[in-house]
Amino acid sequence: MPEMPERLWQPHELFSQDYARRAEEGAARLRNSKVAFVGLARNCAVRLAQNLGLLEQLQDLCGSWSLHVESNDCEDATLDVLHDYCKEKPQATFHYQILGREQHGAEFAGRRTIALAEYRDSCQRWVRACSPDADYVCVIDWDAWGGWNHHGVLNGLGWLVELQGAYGMASASLFQYDFGHGPSWHHYDLWALRGVGQANCYFDTYQNGYGGFGFMWLPPVGSPPVLVSSAFGGMAIYRTDAYLKGTYDGVRDCEHVPFHQSIARVTGQHMYLNPSQRTLMSWMETANAANSLNGV
């Protein structure tokens, strides 16, 4: 992994005390909470194993936890990683399918998002059936190259407790790319990001030519969460009651967007993006590394 500027992962001095306090509040809440971790994994065995190991730091803080992973059509050792992990951890399960589906990582709405919505709906149905009493649901994409910052996730939970009108807290995702001036770090998950500073604004700025600013939008670590209409960033924490009210749909848009829109419509609550809750999606190991994160 190349060197990353400290400012992209650690809180600015101006925010450091509040950052630590929120993280402590999040850790305290976890100790008395049940958390359901769910997510998707396909052809990401190495990253999956690394991130499951990283997750243990959070699991150790939980009052109790459960985990479920949806996977399909893998051509690497992802299935073995899931089998071994679930054999070791009785709280963990996975569902594997052979569907004969290709990965369509470069596509927007269509085959890819329809499939993603289907898999995410399966995760939601698992929570409803097996962990409906969870206080929080943490949705994770397991193929992030560098995982997430542990204290940032705790900070996000602390803010979710504080902001009573919030139903979820998304991550600020990072990737390294060369836009013509040498490798640099940028905001990754722009397609799921809608309505920055706006409630109920789901306009697709990214595909309509207005969203290029988002690559440079990296609010400081430690600064307060930003109201958004939708965001994900590879990891999002939801209040379970709100999560179970959402509906995934990938026919015409990124599957996260209709999901968040449906939750807001039913609950009247809001989604936030937490600048402290960082995920590291990819870096430039090869010329095409930043474009090789295909998801499921």
Burial class (CB in 10 A: 0-12, 13-18, 19+), 216: exposed
pLDDT tens digit sequence for 136-171: 999 999 999 999 999 999 999 999 999 989 999 999
In whole angstroms, what is the distance from residue 11 CA to residue 161 CA?
Answer: 20
Which CATH number covers residue 125? 3.90.550.10
Residue 247 resides in a domain: yes
Residue 4 resides in a domain: no
Q: Phi/psi of residue 91, each to 5°?
A: -80, -5
pLDDT in tens, the chain (296 residues): 788 899 999 999 999 999 999 999 999 999 999 999 999 999 999 999 999 999 999 999 999 999 999 999 999 999 999 999 999 999 999 999 999 988 877 677 889 999 999 999 999 999 999 999 999 999 999 999 999 999 999 999 999 999 989 999 999 999 999 999 999 999 999 999 999 999 999 999 888 887 777 899 999 999 999 999 999 999 999 999 999 999 999 999 999 999 999 999 999 999 999 999 999 999 997 534 433 333 33
Determine the 3-state secondary structure of 267 from DSSP.
Answer: helix
Contact 233, 172 (CB under 8 A): yes
Q: What's the whole-model pTM score?
A: 0.94
In whole angstroms, what is the distance from residue 183 CA to residue 177 CA?
Answer: 5
- What pLDDT, on the 0 to 100 scale, is given for residue 286? 54
How distant, in Å, are the alpha carbons of 39, 259, 281, 282, 296 from that of 242? 17, 10, 27, 30, 25
Selection from 225, 229, 227, 232 nearest residue 276 by Cα: 225
- What pLDDT, on the 0 to 100 scale, is given for residue 293? 35
Residue 7 resides in a domain: no
Domain count along the chain: 1
Work out the angle at residue 174's Cα, subtended by the Cα atoms of residues 75 and 25, and round it to the nearest 5 degrees.
105
Determine the 3-state secondary structure of 104 from DSSP.
Answer: coil
- Provide the 8-state DSSP code for 224: P
Which residue type sits at 137?
V
Residue 65 resides in a domain: yes
Residue 257 resides in a domain: yes
First to last CA, the chain: 23
- Provide the 8-state DSSP code for 230: B
- What pLDDT, on the 0 to 100 scale, is given for residue 212? 77
Query: What H or E segment, with its residue span, contains residue 280?
Result: strand 270-282
Residue 3 resides in a domain: no
Q: At what angle do helices 78-88 and 45-59 cross, to 10 degrees?
A: 20
pLDDT tens digit sequence for 87-105: 999 999 999 999 998 887 7
Domain range enclosing 111: 14-291
Which residue type sits at 136?
Y
Residue 274 resides in a domain: yes
